[in-house]
Every structure is written in structure tokens, then in C-alpha cells.
Structure 1
Amino acid sequence: MKDENTYIDSGVLELFVYGTLPEDEMVKVAHEVLENKTLLDEVVSIEGALMQLSSAAAPYKPKFKNLNISFEKDEDVIPLSRKRTPITSYLGWAAALVLLFGLAYVYTEKSELENRIVDTERELLLQEGKTLVAEENLEQTKSLLDVVRARNVISIPLAGQEIAPEAYASVFWDKENNKAYIDVKGLPEPPEGKVYQVWSLTLEPLTPTSLGVLNEFDTQGSQLFEFSNPNSSEAFGITLEPAGGSVSPTLEQLYTLGVVQTS
């Protein structure tokens, strides 16, 4: 906007008060007047002066009360001055526009803030969940380590077989409590639709007994599993089977095998 004094001296405010500016200019000036107290005071002053001038210039109206004269209105007379839109209307429109834009801005900011709060809460819940899972896994691992380190637990290494020579696993057998803990860190990720199955074996004759399948096998997570083993095991083996496991081991898919050492 121009300097206030330059703006006032330009005569734009007088045209604004008279209502002779184009519609878009009226709205623009009204907006500037609303934002500038000096301009607003000037507009009020101009309107006040205009009202005084109109009052002073009003023609004398004689009383024809007692005269028997009638005047007929000429329907063809066209007024010389056009109707002027009240300045208050433009000020009202401008104020409404300012209020509308202000409300839209506040609503947008509020919505963005709410979205940021929701995202933050979701992230906090996710991190909290990860922390709880990590703590549970840590406690579980500590408990299992305490078990496998006990003196009465037998450690049986399982070596990789022909189908996977690089594979390996370990069995920690707690005979007193009929528990077997299987560490499968050395096994590769099973193919889709396949699971690893753990077997307790007696050798003569060869009799396999399933201890269970590793449904929750995860190369990136915990790889220590607990199974019940009330059997008189002489060896342990792990095979790759269809999802859900098999009644008997698929020997062609034998990944690891280890024999219990007798003292």
C-alpha cells in the first residue's frame, strides 16, 4: 500500500465514500481501511463531513398545506445521481472475508496439529510395544540361558547333513524335567510353505518321535525353542517338512543330526 498521507491525498477515500469506485476497487479499499486505523478514521471523517454538507445543502421545503394545488409525478423523470451502495456494506463484506480466511487458516492449522499429535501417539505406542517385546524376549532368553547352563542339562550338537552341510543346531536336554531346548541359529530360513520339525530318535531300531515344529522360526529373532521330551532319546534330528509337520520324518530333507553321548 502507498504511504498513508499519499493514499489520503490521492482522493481515493473520497471516491470510496461516494461509492463511485468500481466494485473490485471498493472491496480492495475496504480491506485496506479495515487494516489501517488512520485510513478508517479518515473515512469516518469524510462520511461525517458529507452528511453535514448534505444537511446544509438541503433545499427549503415550503408548506402547501393550505393551497389547493396538486402535483403529479412525472414517470419519465430519471434521477441524475445513481444510488450509492452504503460504505458499511463494503466494510462488512471485507470483514466477512477476513474472518472467513482467518477461520479457514485456524481450521487448517488445527487439523495439521491433530494429525501430528495422532502420528506422535502412534509412534510412541509402536516404540512402547517394541520395548515391551524386547524386554519380554530378553527375560525369556535369560531364563533359557539359566536352564541350559545348569549342570544336569546335556548338550547335544547337531551337525549339518548332505542337503545342508553348513547348517548346525544344538539341543539342551534337561532329563530330570523332561524338557529339550533347541537352538536353531545355524539353520537357514525355511522356504515358503515349509517348516522345520524336531525329532527324538532311538537308534535300534530307528524310531522317530516328533517333538514339534518350529512355526515361529525367525532368523532375525529368538531362535531358542522349548519342547517337552519325556522320551529315552538316543539322538535328535531336524528335518524340513510341509507346513503343519509330518507324521514321520522326510529323511531326504534331514538338515541336522546329533547323537547323545553316553558316559
Structure 2
Amino acid sequence: MNTREYIESGILELYVFGKLSEDENTDVQIRANEYPEIKKEIESIEQAIINLSYSVAPHLSNENFNAIRKALLERETAVVPLKPKTNRAAYLGWAASFLLLLGAGFLYFQMNQGDILLKDSKQKNDQLQKSVVTLQEQNKNNETILNLLKNEKNTLVTLAGQTVAPEAKAKIYWNQEDHSVYVDASGLPEAPKGHVYQVWSLKMDPLTPTSIGLLEKTEIGNSKIFKVDNTADAEGFGITLEPAGGSAAPTMDQLYTLGKV
């Protein structure tokens, strides 16, 4: 089990709540000394519980908080049957849990109540991690789009709507140095079921279309910006609506957008 898997296993929450055996506590302590990220996660869980305690009992003074914590530490056998050698961090975790339940109106807590708190804490932690990942992904996508727009090596080709769809439009970002092509298809209507948009690189005289890809999987999140095949010598670009899987040649009466370089 690697460090990330160990952190996500839930054992650190059990450690903080004092629900591990003495040998398991020792193993967690050894790993925490070895791996700073494990130690940091333990501190984060403990702080989250303390913060949560204050949030449900905001008028609890530091003096009263410390008095209750001291009483709990001195009487842990009467509250929860923890082993005498259980580490101090575990005691503080139980104390914080007790304060949370006290602030919520409970007069005492039981083991099953601690399990509910543990599960809720784990769910909130998972939700927070998912939110962070989502924000990071959004920032990455925004940065990619910004770089695409700012790149001076990109030639912008505007594709106008044609007879079958006068309101349609699209943009091509063609890098003539590395020949990469990105398509902004946000101006295209949703393709009907069983059909797909196909992008064509065009030579004008004589008119010679070459398929450079289908708009099936967006390249940058939900931005409707697609990366298609590179092209080195395009004089224009067109987008047609084709049956799923694409066509060997463009269906001209389904030409949605067209533009010259």
C-alpha cells in the first residue's frame, strides 16, 4: 500500500479517534515520522475536528474548552474504554468529538455516535478533495484555452454558416509551425443522433478535401474545443455533418461551415 492509499484507507481517522490497537497506533506513528504527508494528514484531521467543535459551540471559551478536555483525559475510562497507553493525539480526538456532541445538545457520546461522526468527516473530506480536483482541472482548461488564444503562431480561420445552417459558425486555430489544428465548435448546433461533425482541410484549385478528424471527444473539458489531425498546406477548412464514423468524402449538401485561410 503506497502513501496515498494508506491515507485514503481511513486508518488515520481511526487513529485520531483512538479506535486502533496499541500495535496499530505504533505503526501509524512510525509511518508519520517517516512520511511528512501522513503526519500532515493526521494534524489536518485533528484540526478539522477541533474547528468543527468550535463551530457548533462558538461561545465556548478557551478556559472551558481546556477544562473539559482535561476532565476527559483524566476520566477517559469512564467515558470510553481506551487503553492507558493510547497516545495523546487520540485522546484529543475523542475530546474534540465530545465537544461536538455537547454543542449539538447530546449529554454523552457512545461508540456508534463516534462512528457516525467519523463517516461524516470522511465524506466531507472526500467531497473537499473532489472539489479541489475539479477546480484544478478547470484552471488547467482555462490556461490551455488562454494559451491557445494568445499564441501568436496560431492563424485564426473563421468558418461561416452555409445554406443548410446559416446560423452555424466555427473557428479554426491553425499553428503553421507545428501544423496542429484546434476547432472551436461552440457555434455549431448539437449533432443529431447517429451523426457526427467531420472537419476537412481544403485545397482550393482544384477543390481537394482531406479529412482531418471528427468532432467526437472534446480536448479541453466542456469548452467544445477539439484537437484534430495536423495539416501542413491547407488553403481553407470546412465542416460537414456525416453519419456516425465519418465519410470518405464530404457530403456537400450537409456543409455547415466554410472558411478560407
Q: So what's the TM-score if we normalise by structure 2? A: 0.52
Residue of structure 1 in register with 2:121 after alignment: 117
Q: Over aligned residue pairs, what C-alpha RMSD do you find?
A: 2.8
Structure whose residues are more often helix by fraction:
2
CA distance in 2, matches of 1:168, 1:219: 19
- Deviation by residue 1:90-128 (Cα, 9 ceiling, x = unmatched): xxxxxxxxxxxxxxx724412321331232022112102
Aligned AA (1:164):
A
- Deviation by residue 1:40-74 (Cα, 9 ceiling, x = unmatched): xxxxxxxxxxxxxxxxxxxxxxxxxxxxxxxxxxx
Matches within 5 A, 1:39-188: 106-147=110-151, 150=152, 152-188=153-189
The structural deviation recorded for 1:226 is: 3.4
CA distance in 2, matches of 1:254, 1:166: 12
The structural deviation recorded for 1:243 is: 3.0
Between the aligned residues of both structures, percent identity stands at: 42
Residue of structure 2 in register with 1:247 after alignment: 248
Task: Could you tell me which runs of 5 or more consecutive residues in structure 2 were left unpaired when the two chains were aligned.
Answer: 1-108
Aligned AA (1:222):
S
The structural deviation recorded for 1:140 is: 1.1
Report the secondary structure of 1:185's partner residue: coil
In the superposition, relative to structure 1, how do residues 192 and 122 fare at CA in structure 2: closer, same or farther (>3 Å)?
A: farther
Residue of structure 1 in register with 2:5 after alignment: none
The structural deviation recorded for 1:165 is: 1.2
Q: So what's the TM-score if we normalise by structure 1? A: 0.52
Task: Could you tell me which runs of 5 or more consecutive residues in structure 1 were left unpaired when the two chains were aligned.
Answer: 1-104
Aligned AA (2:258):
L
2:214/2:228 contact within 8 Å kept: no
The structural deviation recorded for 1:256 is: 0.6
1:189/1:219 contact within 8 Å kept: no
2:239/2:256 contact within 8 Å kept: yes
- Deviation by residue 1:167-222 (Cα, 9 ceiling, x = unmatched): 10112322232222322221122233332211001223322111111222499822
The structural deviation recorded for 1:133 is: 0.8
CA distance in 2, matches of 1:141, 1:153: 12
The structural deviation recorded for 1:228 is: 4.0
| Number of residue equivalences | 155
Residue of structure 1 in register with 2:41 after alignment: none
